[in-house]
Amino acid sequence: MARVGIYGATGYTGIELINVLSRHPGVEIGFATARSAAGQLLSEVFPIISDLRLAAVDEVDPATVDLVFTCLPHNTPELIPIVQRALAAGAKVVDFSDTFRISDPQVYAARRGKEHPAPELLAQAVYGLPELHRERIRQARLVANTGCYPLTVILPLAPLVRADLLADSTVIVDSKSGVSGAGRSLALKTHFGETHETFSAYNVGRVHRHLAEMEQETGLHIIFAPHLLPVFRGILSTIYVNLNPT
Amino acid sequence: MARVGIYGATGYTGIELINVLSRHPGVEIGFATARSAAGQLLSEVFPIISDLRLAAVDEVDPATVDLVFTCLPHNTPELIPIVQRALAAGAKVVDFSDTFRISDPQVYAARRGKEHPAPELLAQAVYGLPELHRERIRQARLVANTGCYPLTVILPLAPLVRADLLADSTVIVDSKSGVSGAGRSLALKTHFGETHETFSAYNVGRVHRHLAEMEQETGLHIIFAPHLLPVFRGILSTIYVNLNPT
Amino acid sequence: MARVGIYGATGYTGIELINVLSRHPGVEIGFATARSAAGQLLSEVFPIISDLRLAAVDEVDPATVDLVFTCLPHNTPELIPIVQRALAAGAKVVDFSDTFRISDPQVYAARRGKEHPAPELLAQAVYGLPELHRERIRQARLVANTGCYPLTVILPLAPLVRADLLADSTVIVDSKSGVSGAGRSLALKTHFGETHETFSAYNVGRVHRHLAEMEQETGLHIIFAPHLLPVFRGILSTIYVNLNPT
Amino acid sequence: MARVGIYGATGYTGIELINVLSRHPGVEIGFATARSAAGQLLSEVFPIISDLRLAAVDEVDPATVDLVFTCLPHNTPELIPIVQRALAAGAKVVDFSDTFRISDPQVYAARRGKEHPAPELLAQAVYGLPELHRERIRQARLVANTGCYPLTVILPLAPLVRADLLADSTVIVDSKSGVSGAGRSLALKTHFGETHETFSAYNVGRVHRHLAEMEQETGLHIIFAPHLLPVFRGILSTIYVNLNPT
């Protein structure tokens, strides 16, 4: 029985994770943290059947669990000390943000416009896509869970790259994402009246923050256009490639 | 050609009004105000074909128009001086908030828990439901436009009351509203992920702020349960009455 | 390990049942039947991860399972012989249609306008709501699973009836159902363009086919207005009762 | 005041057309036909405010109007005689099907796998995109209204072609359409439960029936991938081109 802790349980990532773990026969949830909802039952915050009580970050001890999941927003300053404390306490860490996904600190700095906040952690992180890095994930103490868009791009392209089927190293990716990817924080873009019964492209021509992951894992140059679908879950990416003549 | 001004053009009420007025052959829009979007084109704020430029409230002059529409949120302190200034300038006023709908200041005070902010305006306001008060609306200088839920309740009940068909002065109203009624301000309740693919009752057992209007216009005691639909526009109210034996 | 068979696996009831059973550690699916899709994999008919191959009804043997679920449309003539054959083979039967829910054959005849097609089966059927009839369901060989609307009406009302809290034996039920209740058969009413972004009442003032169940299990007279929601799953019923003075 | 007749008024195209024409100050609707709904009021078939009564095709006389719109499904055999009769009676014709859009009868035969059913009509038809063919449309007696997907592809590409900005005659078009394009005929693909809260590509790698129009009007080779959105109206096409170096 693996005992796990969850940091950031009330965002969409945290809730989905709890839904999956609750049905897993080999997992026991030791603690779950939340910021504003600390002290409440999870079932008071979300329509979920659960007797889990949410705790503040400083009320929980990662030494009491085997593994922690960090489900905090991108760029949260609390993330680094939480990860450090968990690793020091002997717990493995699976992080859902994009903090540890770009393995090369120079690429990180170039793309983000600043140095990585914890290069010594980055050095030990493994990109968490089991289909590509299963053995390394097994050994890892810190796993950088794949991003949402990247998953839909890397999984179909990686086998084509390995089999040397692509005639051209530039590919076009037209991605359509449900709204959950934008998280539970309020924004006009995800206000019901602005999203329902409509559809739009966004950030066209700009470098999407998840592009570096896709390029790192496929070795390809990717032209990427993301779109927002009026559905909650799921991403569909339509990918255009030139194949080698057979 | 009637010349009109619109205060609060970028909420859902204002936008809908502009859509209707733009197609009206006898109306010309003289000005439209907005708070944070003042200075921008309306078409920059909303996907609408229009060359209207939004102004700040103190940049427009109600003396230049025949009629103003005030589409401000309920309880906005700016409302009263705007109405006073427009009336003083000779413009008629149609207000979309619930500030002038309860005609009796004592009922207002009892329901709202405070005195009416401008009793002298309230005294001249006419409840703006043409099917009931057409002649008085024609004469009025200040019209309190009917609320969204009340419209769906008063219109079907008023004829039954007039014809003395109801056996019981208590009726049950089960109302289901689209999301636009909650406005364009951000709230978790109207966040796409919380509204889409779900349905819920709210404020059950509490006195809804529009109940007094319904009772004023029908003379009935109303048991009212509002619900939020995952659609943008429209309200459907299912009303249960006991009829007199015929 | 219970071994079960499913008749009618490709309707929404069948698919949902398979989803639930697939995650149940104590259940093994022995067979699943379909009419037009017989011979195909279930995963060819529905986006589901499953290696189940669909069979025709006469290709499966209920003697090979402990329990069968019949997920056929209301009024399918094939139902009665399927149930008879399963019971004769020693399998228990849980039926999802409304064929065996009205326990009194005279009420059945009055409501349906015809005699029950198999009164000897009806006599042994138990109404399948565990909260009310848990022990009888345990003993039963034929269980009539509760209807969709009735579940939302009986569960909240039964405790009030038992505790004698109702001042009036007539109650008002305003129900709102998702579209899945109308099944997977094509109809204009459930065509996307007619259901999406709208909401409507239906069969108002008519006797709904599930009303008899609700009255049988609660002993109440129910005024029932069903509505169709633009969501896939779920029913919310708003119920209006007069309580005894306390 | 132009007097118009509408053939096929109860499909989504016909209804939308009536909505537009009803607000047009220079148009009067002389007749509207329907197949199964002939004899009914349009308002009985659709929630629309209109006193239009639907007629059978053989009850109406195109000589009584200036212009007819034919809003019949693709490949309806009745279309050709209706167009011939209208033209013979002196009425202009705007056809909404794809029967007269491919101007070259040899291309038509190659794409459709059969000869055009009325080459003498095809010879006089004008492709109905005013931005490209305004003068010819003015003169035309038979106008082939642009298809839904083609409109979103031709309008943005034609100016690039004219200005000779494209470095490559092959372009990629990733289109996403609302459900109304699939019409009001029932199909599992447009059943609410199969379309709502999901998104999919279709006909990938096959030659879409509207591709020939796009290529005719742009002169480009188009790689086209259509998708079905869970919204009612609208199409968004994301188009990928290589531009000439400037």
Catalytic positions of A are 148
Q: What is the side-by-side strand order in the sheet with C170-177?
A: C200-201, C221-228, C170-177, C235-240
- Average pLDDT of span D54-72: 97
Over 80: is that where the pLDDT of B105 sits? yes
Catalytic positions of B are 148
For C194-213, what is each residue's pLDDT tens digit? Answer: 999 999 999 998 888 899 99
Query: Which residues 9-28 in chain A show a CB within 8 A of chain B?
Result: 12
Maximum distance among all alpha carbons in chain B?
A: 62
For D168-180, what is each residue's pLDDT tens digit? Answer: 999 999 999 999 9
| One-letter amino acid for residue D28 of the chain | E
CB contact under 8 A, C186 and D184: no
Residues of D in contact with B196 (CB under 8 A): 197
Over 80: is that where the pLDDT of B102 sits? yes
Q: Tell me which H or E stretch contains A127.
A: strand A125-128
Out of B174, B223, B231, closest to residue C230 by CB: B231
For C116-146, what is each residue's pLDDT tens digit? Answer: 999 999 999 999 999 999 999 999 999 999 9
Over 80: is that where the pLDDT of A246 sits? no
Over 90: is that where the pLDDT of B237 sits? yes
Res B208: pLDDT:
83
A186: pLDDT confidence band, cut at 50, 70 and 90?
very high
CB contact under 8 A, D191 and C196: no
Pinpoint the alpha helices (H) of chain B: 12-22, 42-45, 79-88, 105-112, 119-122, 130-139, 148-162, 192-195, 211-218
Q: How many CA atoms lie within 13 A of D76 on its CB side?
A: 16
For A130-167, what is each residue's pLDDT tens digit? Answer: 999 999 999 999 999 999 999 999 999 999 999 999 99
Q: What is the side-by-side strand order in the sheet with C142-145?
A: C27-32, C2-7, C67-70, C92-95, C142-145, C125-128
Mutation site for C-interface testing, chosen from D177, D185, D188, D191 by largest number of C Cβ within 10 Å: D191
Give this complex's ipTM.
0.92
Strand partners, C27: C2
> Average pLDDT of chain A?
95
Min Cα–Cα distance to chain A from D198, Å: 7
- Average pLDDT of span D59-80: 95
CB contact under 8 A, A23 and C23: yes
* Interaxial angle between packed helices A105-112 and A211-218, expressed in degrees from 0 to 180 and rounded to the nearest 10: 150
For C160-194, what is each residue's pLDDT tens digit? Answer: 999 999 999 999 999 999 999 999 999 999 999 99
Mutation site for A-interface testing, chosen from D197, D223, D233, D239 by largest number of A Cβ within 10 Å: D197
Res A44: pLDDT:
92
Min Cα–Cα distance to chain B from A45, Å: 11
Over 90: is that where the pLDDT of B48 sits? no
CB contact under 8 A, C234 and B174: no
Out of A186, A193, A231, closest to residue B188 by CB: A186
Q: Which of B19, B88, B14 is nearest to B54 (CA)?
A: B14
For A45-85, what is each residue's pLDDT tens digit? Answer: 888 888 899 999 999 999 999 999 999 988 899 999 999 99
Min Cα–Cα distance to chain C from D65, Å: 31
Q: What whole-number percentage of chain C has pLDDT above 90? A: 89
Min Cα–Cα distance to chain C from B128, Å: 27
Q: Say yes or no: C197 contacts chain A, CB-CB below 8 A.
A: yes
Q: SS3 letters for C19-78?
A: HHHHCCCCEEEEEEECCCCCCCEHHHHCCCCCCCECECHHHCCHHHCCEEEECCCCCCCC
Q: Contact, B6 vs B53, CB < 8 A?
A: no
CB contact under 8 A, B193 and A184: yes
- Average pLDDT of span B85-111: 96
Q: Say yes or no: A223 contacts chain D, CB-CB below 8 A.
A: yes
> Average pLDDT of chain C?
95
Out of B201, B229, B232, closest to residue C238 by CB: B201
Residues of B in contact with C156 (CB under 8 A): none
Contacts of A171 (CB under 8 A, 6+ apart): A157, A220, A221, A222, A223, A239, A240, A241
Q: What secondary structure letter does DSSP report for D21? A: H
Strand D235-240 vs strand D170-177: parallel, antiparallel, or unpaired? antiparallel
Res B50: pLDDT:
85
Query: How far apart (Å, rounded) are the C-alpha atoms in residues C23 and C3?
Result: 14
Q: Which of C19, C46, C179 is nearest to D193 (CA)?
A: C179
Res C50: pLDDT:
85
Contacts of D202 (CB under 8 A, 6+ apart): D189, D226, D227, D228
B49: pLDDT confidence band, cut at 50, 70 and 90?
confident
Over 80: is that where the pLDDT of B169 sits? yes
Out of B199, B229, B238, closest to residue C201 by CB: B238
CB contact under 8 A, A231 and D176: no
Residues of C in contact with B156 (CB under 8 A): none
Min Cα–Cα distance to chain A from C196, Å: 9
Chain-centroid distance of CA C178 in Å reads 15
Strand A2-7 vs strand A27-32: parallel, antiparallel, or unpaired? parallel
Out of D184, D193, D197, closest to residue C193 by CB: D184
DSSP C84-108: HHHHHTT-EEEE-SSTT----HHHH
For A99-127, what is each residue's pLDDT tens digit? Answer: 999 999 999 999 999 999 999 999 999 99
D75: pLDDT confidence band, cut at 50, 70 and 90?
confident
> Average pLDDT of chain B?
95
Backbone φ and ψ for A185, nearest 5 degrees, come out as -70, 145
Res B246: pLDDT:
76
CB contact under 8 A, A25 and C23: no
Mutation site for A-interface testing, chosen from B191, B194, B229 by largest number of A Cβ within 10 Å: B191
Q: What whole-number percentage of chain D has pLDDT above 70? A: 100
Mutation site for B-interface testing, chosen from A179, A191, A200, A233 by largest number of B Cβ within 10 Å: A191
Res A209: pLDDT:
85
Q: Say yes or no: A40 contacts chain D, CB-CB below 8 A.
A: no
- Average pLDDT of span D127-153: 97
Query: Which residues 227-246 in chain D show a CB within 8 A of chain A?
Result: 227, 229-234, 236, 238, 240
Q: What secondary structure letter does DSSP report for D181? A: G
Out of D172, D230, D233, closest to residue A230 by CB: D230
Q: Which of D135, D134, D95 is nearest to D117 (CA)?
A: D95
CB contact under 8 A, B191 and A184: yes
Res D48: pLDDT:
83
Residues of C in contact with D191 (CB under 8 A): 184, 186, 190-192
Residues of D in contact with B197 (CB under 8 A): 196-197
CB contact under 8 A, D236 and A201: yes
Q: Which of D71, D148, D220, D229 is catalytic?
A: D148
Q: Tell me which H or E stretch contains A45.
A: helix A42-45
Mutation site for B-interface testing, chosen from C194, C238, C239, C243 by largest number of B Cβ within 10 Å: C238
For D93-124, what is each residue's pLDDT tens digit? Answer: 999 999 999 999 999 999 999 999 999 999 99
For D206-230, what is each residue's pLDDT tens digit? Answer: 888 899 999 999 999 999 999 999 9
Out of B179, B186, B195, closest to residue A186 by CB: B186
Min Cα–Cα distance to chain B from D169, Å: 32
Residues of C in contact with B237 (CB under 8 A): none
> Average pLDDT of chain D?
95
- Average pLDDT of span B169-179: 97
- Average pLDDT of span B36-44: 93
- Average pLDDT of span A89-101: 97
